[in-house]
Structure 1
Amino acid sequence: MTQAQYTLEGLPVPAIIATLSYEEIRLATINKLVDIDPSYSALLESDPAIKVIEASSYQDIVLRARVNDAARANLLFFAAGSDLDHLAAFYDVLRLVGETDSALRSRTVLAIQGRSTGGTEERYKFIARTADVRVKDVAVYQVDGGPKLRVALLSLVNGGVPDAPMLAAVLAAVTATDVRAINDVIEVVPATQAPQNIVLNVWLLPNAPLAIIDSMETLIRSAWFDESGIGFDLNPSWLAARVHLPGVSKVEVVTPAAPVVVSDNQAATLGTITANFAGRLR
């Protein structure tokens, strides 16, 4: 499982995090008042007792929300900021300069998975991600069934292509004497393939502004940056879905005409993006 695929999808909300409802708390408190004093019947909204109950219920909801926040702060996938820093530090992981919460969170998961010093895939991924904050994703794989390993990198910048300093920093990190398993021969390479050019024909609804088409390149690049990773195919249907905005009647993906399928160790990158105005349709 790559870090791009490592998500919370399918996991239930932790039971420690309570569902909050002001109305439920207010009603339960009123019912408790009636239980204590059945003779009490002045339950109008203007009654002072109701005002006290409402104030108490509000304070209760604030307290419960604070307890929820404290519970989240102790869970890796919910913690943020300094709370996440302290959780990560428990696993000997420190935030890199400029590192986002999401990146620190996924790197901490790798540190946990790669606790063995025996040259595990997760450990090499963690070391590579720690060597340069600009590393977005890593694939580690064996070459020809022998001791030679490749560490393939995807960058957060430069369209995903790692530069020479990044490659050098990762190579130094994964081949350090206290990191590399003695039998491993390691090569660090870019994971990226040749850039894929994209051409779209777009039909707009009669009253839709042409500016919609102008925004499509930015939308595609932003979505690709957020969602893609090593092993992520570039599908025409994915492209069409990302630009089928309100005001768009039809999208035809001219290039690529078929899915660009990559291996588990490669990453597709985007070249030029051209969105052609093809007319207006109802």
Structure 2
Amino acid sequence: MAIDLTLVPLPDVIETLDYETILNEMVADFKERWAKVRETKPELPAYNVEMLETDPVKIVIEAFAYRELLWRARANQVARAVMLATTTGTDLDNFAADFGVTRRIIRYDDDGNPVYESDEEFRQRRNLAPDGYAAAGPEDAYRFFAWSADGSIKQVEAIKGENNRCDIILLGREGDGTVSQDVITKVYDALSAKTRRPLTDNVYVRSATIVSQIIRVKVTAQTGPDVSTTVAKAKASIQTYASSRSAIGTVLRADGIIAAAHNGNALESVVVIEPATNVDPGKYGTVYVPEVIVEVA
């Protein structure tokens, strides 16, 4: 079963970088070495001018300290590049190639150039790839093959029930998330190979049930900031929250709307008018928010 990569802590190999620490260590190292040289050549002056910005030795040490900082940062980048939780870009492409997984084309731009899936989506599919080798038809294996079948698919959930029934729920990335029949058929065909579905499994592929719900809130702005700017920021925050809740089986919560509106905004109060309560789309559905309306009290 695929793990949640967001819960994996950064390993100790990723070093916390601090220029001043490196600089102080190099100054201390130089002073120690200089003191040893003076033991054999006492006529040399003591070094005690490291606080002077014009000191040539200090300038050279600062240059070397900065270069060491860059090298340590590069080492961090190399380490991140070989870990699934942190690798990005073409490093992620090469990491996923070990399992025969390539980045999906999700659409073509106006000039006909392919637009590929994000690192985050690609990372999640690569994380599911090992489950694709399982012969018993686990849920994550179905998710992997269904998700990989077409670039228009934003999310897949596999729900196993009684009598060997397995429902594959698809959420599209365009519009309200409804998936076309052509894509549903394509996914069904992808899951029908003998190497992917046990003979005893009854697989049903369907689009997620879309629950359309506008969000309407009434806000009271604090004295001081420009009200129109505050309202615009609150609306953007709510839209971001609504997008994050556009996922299969995910509840749109009234308290989440309030928290999003308050996030970084100078608001005295937020009252949610619509929805009147939490919106639960059920395990086969998703909430789609076509509009966010922010009114000023």
Q: Does 1:263 align with 2:282?
A: yes
1:54 aligned onto 2:78: no
Change (3 A) 1:170 1:51: same
Q: 1:114 to 1:33 in 2, by over 3 A?
A: same
Q: Partner of 1:252: helix, strand, or coil?
A: strand
1:218-242 deviations in Å (ceiling 9; x for gaps): 5433332245422211110111122
Q: For each residue in 1:212-264, what CA deviation from the matched residue of structure 2 results, as whole angstroms up to 9, or x when unmatched?
A: 43565554333322454222111101111222252332211122222123434
CA shift for structure 1 position 181: 1.7
Rate the CA distance shift 1:55–1:134 in 2: closer, same or farther, 3 A.
same
Match of 2:11?
A: 14
Could you list the per-position Cα deviations for residues 169-216 of structure 1 after superposition, in whole angstroms to 9, with x for gaps in the alignment? 212211233322211121111223421232222222345333543565
CA RMSD, 1 decimal: 2.3
Aligned equivalent of 1:67: 75
Which secondary structure does the structure 2 equivalent of 1:160 belong to?
coil
CA positional deviation for 1:37: 2.6
**Count of equivalent residues:** 274
Residue 130 of structure 2 corresponds to 112
Task: Please give the alpha-carbon distance, in whole angstroms, between the structure 2 residues aligned to 1:249 and 1:163.
Answer: 44
Segments of structure 2 that go 5 or more residues without pairing to the other structure are 39-44, 106-115
Partner of 2:296: 277
C-alpha change, 1:277 and 1:47, in structure 2 (3 Å) is closer
Unaligned 5+ segments in structure 1 are none
Contact 1:140 1:265 survives alignment (8 Å): no
Decide which moves more: 76-85 or 206-215: 206-215
Pairing partner for 1:83 from 91, 98, 108: 91
Structure with higher Rg: it is: 2
Q: TM-score when scaled to structure 1?
A: 0.87
Runs of 4 or more off by more than 6 Å in structure 1? none
Q: Contact 1:117/1:123 (CA < 8 Å) preserved in 2?
A: no
Does the 8 Å CA contact 2:101/2:126 hold for their aligned counterparts? Answer: yes
Query: What's 2:240 paired with?
Result: 222
Please give the alpha-carbon distance, in whole angstroms, between the structure 2 residues aligned to 1:160 and 1:223. 16
The correspondence of residues 1-282 of structure 1 with structure 2, limited to 5 A, is: 6-9=4-7, 11-38=8-35, 39=38, 41-44=46-49, 45=52, 46-97=54-105, 98-143=116-161, 145-207=162-224, 208-210=226-228, 212-213=230-231, 218-244=236-262, 246-278=265-297
Higher relative contact order (CA 8 A, sep 6+): 1
Measure, in 1, the Cα distance between the counterparts of 2:234 and 2:174.
Answer: 20
